């Protein structure tokens, strides 16, 4: 089967998951006796941090999905199911983001573990999806550069290791777990060697 509809559908899920994250930002209660708005908004800083981190991570995952499917030319039932598992992690993300937003300011270990653990789940499904697609002949484009394929595999291994580190760090210092996820988003947004490759290839 062609990948066109898988891409449209995944685009929709990524777009909606990113957009629903904003619902986790709560408007402080208004009214004639309401306290000043500015400090009430500032107090919600962990919610903004979690929002921006989750948004950036989903945006970067979308970029990667996009890049991968310039190499993957065909799908089969297994790839559709693996892609569904990946999207399960993505659509779940607003929930741990809301938990982190509500609890991370109190230094809650569980909140950060749920948040970083979701990223670990997503990183695992990325690895499985990519290994399946790149390992089985017939799904990758015949002219896919083998060094690029290896380079992506390596990047996904590194990503999984980094999210496992964030997960572990969160048990020692909760905000450190969150901060690693935020830094990873910034790091992945920078043009890396494997992204430059696509720039050249395109």
The strand pairing partners of 140, in sequence order, are 72
CA–CA gap between residue 137 and residue 133 (Å, rounded):
8
Q: How far is the CB of 63 from a copy of itself (least distance, A)?
A: 5
Q: How far is the CB of 164 from a copy of itself (least distance, A)?
A: 20
Of 20 and 149, nearer to a copy of itself (C-beta) is 20
Beta carbons within 8 Å of 103's beta carbon, 6+ residues apart: 110, 111
Q: How far is the CB of 161 from a copy of itself (least distance, A)?
A: 22
Of 3 and 134, nearer to a copy of itself (C-beta) is 3
What does DSSP assign to residue 191?
-
Q: How far is the CB of 172 from a copy of itself (least distance, A)?
A: 17
Distances (CA, A) of 121 to 24, 93, 173, 199: 21, 11, 21, 29
CA–CA gap between residue 79 and residue 64 (Å, rounded):
16
Of 67 and 129, nearer to a copy of itself (C-beta) is 67
Of 91 and 153, nearer to a copy of itself (C-beta) is 91
Of 59 and 179, nearer to a copy of itself (C-beta) is 59
Q: How far is the CB of 147 from a copy of itself (least distance, A)?
A: 18
Beta carbons within 8 Å of 35's beta carbon, 6+ residues apart: 28
Q: Long-range contact list for 160-166, CB < 8 A, 24+ apart?
A: 160/120, 160/123, 160/124, 160/126, 160/127, 163/116, 163/119, 163/120, 163/122, 163/123, 164/120, 166/116, 166/119
């Amino acid at each position: 089967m062609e990948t066109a509809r898988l891409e449209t559908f995944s685009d929709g899920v990524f777009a909606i998951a990113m957009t629903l994250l904003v619902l986790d930002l709560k408007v402080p209660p208004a009214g004639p006796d309401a306290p000043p708005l500015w400090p009430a908004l500032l107090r919600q800083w962990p919610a903004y941090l979690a929002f921006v981190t989750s948004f950036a991570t989903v945006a970067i995952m979308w970029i990667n999905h996009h890049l991968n499917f310039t190499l993957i030319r065909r799908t089969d039932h297994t790839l559709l199911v693996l892609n569904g598992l990946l999207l399960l992690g993505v659509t779940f993300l607003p929930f741990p983001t809301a938990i982190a937003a509500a609890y991370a300011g109190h230094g809650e270990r569980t909140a950060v573990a749920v948040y970083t653990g979701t990223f670990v789940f997503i990183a695992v499904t990325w690895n499985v999806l990519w290994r399946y697609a790149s390992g089985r002949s017939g799904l990758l484009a015949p002219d896919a550069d083998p060094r690029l394929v290896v380079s992506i595999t390596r990047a996904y291994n590194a990503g999984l290791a980094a999210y496992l580190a964030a997960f572990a760090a969160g048990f020692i210092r909760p905000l450190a777990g969150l901060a690693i996820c935020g830094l990873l988003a910034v790091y992945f947004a920078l043009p890396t060697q494997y992204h430059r490759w696509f720039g050249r290839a395109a």
